[in-house]
Structures are given as structure tokens and as C-alpha cells.
Structure 1
């Protein structure tokens, strides 16, 4: 009797959930969801097809081949497509752009990228299915997100909801290592943003510690810095004395002072490479270097290559000022200089971004998929959306869920393709009404 009662209660609860879903979505939205769920196998097949093409950033042919595969999908959906070539000296494949002109609702810019961190010859498996998980090169970062864009738009197309919409899609070919100068490699993206109202980016969806889905309303800016230290060369017996402390001790002083004194929430700085000795050489193109020195000689030179990540420009300015002050407090017999170079601008947490998140969360709840929480800005690295976020309301993290991005264990939760496509399609539908 108790078992029967439990089963009845479970059925009643399921019926309530289904009713809630129906009540949260209008008839067209219910059709959109049904289309996505009915074509989930085809979405996974498209993902597999794209992943089996190596598209490491420097594999320009592979990036173009993935672009051609996705371009065909957009052509079938009635988009006008084009491939943007970058100057040959940039050694990047270029970008895929698909546009649809109309006169209804918000003008949307949807962002993805075609490249991965896995170059040809990588020993990471291309594609391995294991139940509800797929492991492979770029499955979650971010070919899964690209497929979600396509499947969301395909469902909208099937129910006639794309008619009259104003949507631009840009899949870049060098997100993992953007070509320089970025004013060129991201110039077309900025131009599209200036003609749009809302930007949505489909980098992977991250679950918080409670297992709740999140979206990204802010990302930290990235910059690089270089520390150059000089000192008097001499016999090691005179270190700490007439010949001073040498370049290596001065470098250690500076870096440890940074660690102890340049502290703010959301601010990080990472010295990724240090070379010191009496002869130092560094190749910026390959990020490799050599150093020569002897234990009985005081080092006369040291160099540090590092990054800096910050939430906003005031935080950047405070950090750089304090770092310069520390660098100037030289040990005897040494001198040092520091130089900063901007890379990705910050994606500030704005009221507009939070408003888009609120709509996205409402869509998810109406579809019975739960609320969406904001992800702390420091929980993500740099991304393409940062180039357009200063210009329009933006939201990121609408892609597939997985683990181990950029590692041999990168994987994807197969069910997240359907869930994220449902959320994305409904969000696009409501934004373009």
C-alpha cells in the first residue's frame, strides 16, 4: 500500500511539473521546445561532425572547414553568410558571419568560436562517447555552444519564429589566441555590435557549487606586464656588499612585494615566466627563452613575463600605480622597469546585463529548467564578448555544460545541449517579439 501511494505521489508530482511547464510557455514556445527535443539526436550528430575536424587556432584549414560546416546550416535557415579573411601576416583563418535582416524586436548579436586549443597532432581523443558524457577536442569549448546556437535558431525557423527578426551571428576563428592587432581581428565584431541591442555569447555553461546553472554578467579584463631588472655583475663573494644584491634578488623582492601588497578582491597577477643570469634571451613568438649564469657570478639581468586580471579600470589603475611604486624601491646596485600592455577590456556588471540575465532566468524557469544564477566575474577567463560588452547589454555562458576545458579530459554533458538550446531559443524568441 505504501509503495502504491509513493508511486501515485510521484505521478502526481510529475503531472504538476508538466502543467507548470505548459502554463509558463505560450503555444508557440511549446512548439519551439518540442522541436528542439525531437531533433536532439541530429544536434549531437552535428556536434560530432564538427569535433572530428581538428580546428586548433593555428590550423587555419581546419578552422575554415568547421566554418564551412556551420555556414551550410545557416544558409539552410535563410541567413546571409560570409567569410571574413584576416591579413595573411596575422596567420589566422578568419571568421564566419551570418545575418538576418528584419524589423521586429531587439537586434541580437550571437557569438561563438570555431577554434580550439588542440592543434594537429594532439594526443587528446577527437571524440569518445561514454553514456551521457562526450569527451573530445573542443566539445564544450566551444563547439557545443556553436551547435546550441544553430539548433536554437533551427527550432525557431521550423515554427516560423525567425521571420522578421534581426539577428547577426559571428563565429570567430581565433578566440583561443586572438590575432594581433585586436583592432583588426575584432574590428568586424565591434562593427556588428554597434548595429545591435543585445549580445549573447555561448561559451560553456558553468554550474555553481550547489549544482545550479549560471550565466556570466561580467568578466575580468586581461593585460600583460613585463618586468626588466638590471644589476652590477661581479664576484659572488661581494653579493650584499659593494656589488649590491644582483638582478635575481631584486626580482624576488619585487614579486614578493606584489604578492603581499597589491591585494584586492577580483585582482590577480601571475608571473608565468622568469629568466635570470648574466645572459638572457627570450623569443616572444614562441614564449621560450634561455638563460646563462654561474653560481659564483652575481646575475646582471632578469626578465619576467606575466599577466594581470582586473574587474574594472579603476582597479587596474590602483594596481598598476602600486606595482610601479614597488618596482622603484630598488635594492642597492639594481634598477628595474615595468611595462603594461592591454589585451581584453573588462565586461563590467551593468544593470542592462543583469536585466538580460533576469529574462534568461525567467525563460529557464518557465521551461521547467530552474533559475539561472550570476557567475562571479573572476570565475571566468577572457572571452570575445568583452570586446562588445562596453557597447551593449551582454550575457555569456549560454553554451553546453562540461568539465576540463583546455585539458585532455575536456568533456560535455550530452543533455546540456538540449537544455541550453531550449533556453537560448526561448530567450531569442522573447527578445525578438
Structure 2
């Protein structure tokens, strides 16, 4: 994907350089409607940000869903809540649909949840001049608001009727429920019945400040290391009888990964490590504990990590080398590495590049400048990756900010209006 993606990016550059064209009278009205409702859109965003909706806070996720559901009801959509099986411990998804016969069948994606759980100390809405901090303000409650604001503008301009637009706001994008065939089954079915999928995750700004679009994303997967050693008195460490212990073996394996599993676009991050003589880890809550003493050689280390790759051949190469490194154990130890899949890769395709060209043209025609493609390795995983194998897809159409997933996550307020203008014009042109 990396090689073909680069060729596609170069081949499509000419289409992204098409000259700006004047907006029609209807398009000018759409832009005016977006601007007229910017203050109200920001107020609604504040309300949503001040509702904690960490993935595991099902009640909070549903509350945010109720907030947006009212908006879609007022826009003439048919709405319903999609529940997940109780065993999955996920809130479910909000679905809003309009059935028409005009233009492309569009699927718009957002998500209601954030990484900030109910006990998070991160502040909620905090305005500081032209920026706002808050839980999920850019990832991706701001993107949800771009969808609402763009659709409002189309309705007020009288061009929303007879369109075929579906909106799906998932409740567990930050930690998708298992099995994925259930938690993303509705999304896949909707994608197969659509002509294009547009996702409104946060938009990355280029070095010169211009907006970008996401035409490819790396897969999100996991690795787990199970390390064993011989428990014994610490004075025997390194001896023939005691060996090196689980902790030294863990250090060897991780450093081997760091030095030997190297490819452009490939990353692997050991997110949690627990070691000692008694280790427990709860994957559902992402919490664990370990017991050990300094005068005892540790017999167990558990490591949970994240692995991201551009395409399946790259994944297979990484898996093979990581297994080889794990197998070359120190004396008295053993290491086993296993892998899990989460989000599939989103390949760069001609169809995706065509969507980017349409988006860039809408932006340029509105006086907001052209939009370039962001490299696939610059983005994390996103829901659109479950839809992208079946339909032309474009992501990164949301707001811009800094510090996603951190206490400093923020939003540049002006990007909410700009993103809504681009989206509204693109939606209008695709539904004619």
C-alpha cells in the first residue's frame, strides 16, 4: 500500500490543483447559513463536551447520543439507537437516515465516546481566546458538530430534501467492543449500500497551515508478551541454575524489537508492563497489579502493546521477526509473543483520491484554500477503516486542534466554521 499510495498521491496532484470556481447562488447561501449558526454550533459543542462520555461510561455515551438525536430529528432524519449485547459492555450507536433518490448515497461517520472516562481529572469546557480545551473537544465531538452544522445549512438553504444521507455515530470508537463483527456489523452493512463514506475525525493541518484530508490509515492491532523465568533468591541471578529471570528477558525482547523490527510506517508500543512473582491484568478495564520482592527473582512479566502497520505484507514481516526475537531466550527464561487484530488498514485508492479532489475543490471555491493528502502513517486508527474496504472513503473532515487524548486536548474555534463550510459544499455537490 505504501508504494501504490505514493504513486496515487503524485498522480492525483494535478486534479487537486484545479482552479477555484465561483460559488453558485445556492452555494453562497449555504455558506451564509453555516456562518449564521456558528455561535449556536459552538454552544451545542460546549454542551456535548461537558457530558462525560468515556467509552466505558455507557450512560454518558447515551446522553450525548440523546443530544445529537434531537438535532437529527429536527433535520427530518429517521433516528434510532442501536443497542449492543450486554456482554459487550458498550453503549451502542446512534443511527440517523434520510431516504431520497437524488445524488450519491452518503454515509457520514462520527463517534460519541472519548478516551476520558468518568473518573478522569481532565477539565471539561475551558475557553481561552480562540481555543477551547475539553474532553473530546476535537476527537471527536467537534467533528460531530461539523456534521450537524453542515446538514443544518443544507436544510436552511432548502437543499436537504430528497437526499440519501445516513449518519452513524458509534459509541465505542476509542475502544471498539468485541467481537468487531457485532460492534461494526451495522457500519459494514451501511457501507456496502453507500456510494461514499465521509468521516469527520479531527483534521491535521499541514506545516503551512493548510487543511489536509485522510485517504489512508494504518491498521490498529496488538501484541502481547508472556515472559517466564525461574523464581529464586536474588543472589542467584545470572547463575546457571537460576538464569536471568523474567524481567531481564522482557528487557531483551523489547530492545530487540526496538532495534530490529524497523520499517517506514511500522510502529509498536509496549503500553503496559507488569512483572514480579504474581501478576494480574484486566483487559476490559486496562488495569493490573503485580507483586514482587527485591530479593526474589521475578518469574513472570506480562506486556501489552499496540502494533500499527500500513498493509498486510508489512504486518506479516513484523510478526515473523518479532517471533524470532522472542524465541531466542536468555538462560532460564522463555518468551511467547501473540498478536490480535482490531482495525484493518485503509488503503489509498483512486476512489479515495477522487473524493479528496472534490473536497479540495469545494474548499478552494469557498476561498479556504486547497486540501492535500496526509500520509497514512501520520494518522491513528479510525472507524472508517471498517467501511473503506467496500466503498470510496475520506476521513479527517473535522475540526483542528492539538493534544488529542491528552489533558491538553483542544480545538481551534475558527476551524469549526471552516470545516462545516467545506463539508456542506461537498455534501451539496455530491447530492445533486
With normalisation by structure 2, the TM-score equals: 0.91
Gaps spanning 5+ residues in structure 2: where?
A: 1-18
**1:355 to 1:300, Cα distance in 2 relative to 1, 3 A:** same
Match of 1:240 among 234, 238, 241: 238
Tell whether 2:354 aligns with 1:355: yes
> For residue 4 of structure 1, what is the aligned residue in structure 2?
none
Measured after TM superposition, the shift of residue 407 of structure 1 is 2.2
In 2, the alpha carbon distance for the partners of 1:26 and 1:76 equals 27
In 2, the alpha carbon distance for the partners of 1:180 and 1:426 equals 37
> For residue 139 of structure 1, what is the aligned residue in structure 2?
137
In 2, the alpha carbon distance for the partners of 1:246 and 1:51 equals 47
Tell whether 2:330 aligns with 1:331: yes
> For residue 412 of structure 1, what is the aligned residue in structure 2?
411
Measured after TM superposition, the shift of residue 128 of structure 1 is 2.3
In 2, the alpha carbon distance for the partners of 1:314 and 1:355 equals 26
The within-5 A match list for 1:119-268 is 119-243=117-241, 244-268=243-267
**1:337 to 1:163, Cα distance in 2 relative to 1, 3 A:** same
Gaps spanning 5+ residues in structure 1: where?
A: 1-19
Which deviates the most, 416-425 or 241-250? 241-250
1:76-131 alpha-carbon deviations (Å, 9 max, x no partner)? 21111111111122222211111111122211100011122233343333222233
Measured after TM superposition, the shift of residue 55 of structure 1 is 2.0
Which deviates the most, 252-261 or 40-49? 40-49
Which deviates the most, 44-53 or 303-312? 44-53
In 2, the alpha carbon distance for the partners of 1:45 and 1:216 equals 28
Task: Please give the secondary structure, in 2, of the residue aligned with 1:176.
Answer: helix
RMSD of equivalent CA atoms: 1.8
Task: Please give the secondary structure, in 2, of the residue aligned with 1:314.
Answer: helix
In 2, the alpha carbon distance for the partners of 1:137 and 1:281 equals 30
Task: Please give the secondary structure, in 2, of the residue aligned with 1:333.
Answer: coil
Measured after TM superposition, the shift of residue 250 of structure 1 is 1.8
The within-5 A match list for 1:255-334 is 255-334=254-333
With normalisation by structure 1, the TM-score equals: 0.91
In 2, the alpha carbon distance for the partners of 1:241 and 1:282 equals 30
Which deviates the most, 159-168 or 296-305? 296-305
> For residue 427 of structure 2, what is the aligned residue in structure 1?
428
**1:232 to 1:65, Cα distance in 2 relative to 1, 3 A:** closer
> For residue 29 of structure 1, what is the aligned residue in structure 2?
27
Which deviates the most, 197-206 or 123-132? 123-132
Task: Please give the secondary structure, in 1, of the residue aligned with 2:390.
Answer: coil
> For residue 384 of structure 1, what is the aligned residue in structure 2?
383
> For residue 340 of structure 1, what is the aligned residue in structure 2?
339
In 2, the alpha carbon distance for the partners of 1:32 and 1:71 equals 23
In 2, the alpha carbon distance for the partners of 1:83 and 1:60 equals 13
Task: Please give the secondary structure, in 1, of the residue aligned with 2:389.
Answer: coil
**1:425 to 1:184, Cα distance in 2 relative to 1, 3 A:** same
Measured after TM superposition, the shift of residue 310 of structure 1 is 0.6
Measured after TM superposition, the shift of residue 296 of structure 1 is 4.1
Task: Please give the secondary structure, in 1, of the residue aligned with 2:340.
Answer: strand
> For residue 13 of structure 1, what is the aligned residue in structure 2?
none
> For residue 54 of structure 2, what is the aligned residue in structure 1?
56
In 1, the alpha carbon distance for the partners of 2:357 and 2:47 equals 34
1:288-337 alpha-carbon deviations (Å, 9 max, x no partner)? 33333344443332221111111111100000011111111122222221
Match of 2:69 among 68, 71, 80: 71
The within-5 A match list for 1:90-101 is 90-101=88-99
Task: Please give the secondary structure, in 2, of the residue aligned with 1:151.
Answer: helix
Which deviates the most, 214-223 or 133-142? 133-142
Measured after TM superposition, the shift of residue 143 of structure 1 is 1.4
In 1, the alpha carbon distance for the partners of 2:121 and 2:274 equals 30
Which deviates the most, 418-427 or 157-166? 157-166
Which deviates the most, 269-278 or 290-299? 290-299
Measured after TM superposition, the shift of residue 223 of structure 1 is 1.1
Task: Please give the secondary structure, in 1, of the residue aligned with 2:388.
Answer: coil
In 1, the alpha carbon distance for the partners of 2:86 and 2:100 equals 34
In 1, the alpha carbon distance for the partners of 2:126 and 2:235 equals 60
In 2, the alpha carbon distance for the partners of 1:128 and 1:276 equals 39
**1:372 to 1:333, Cα distance in 2 relative to 1, 3 A:** same
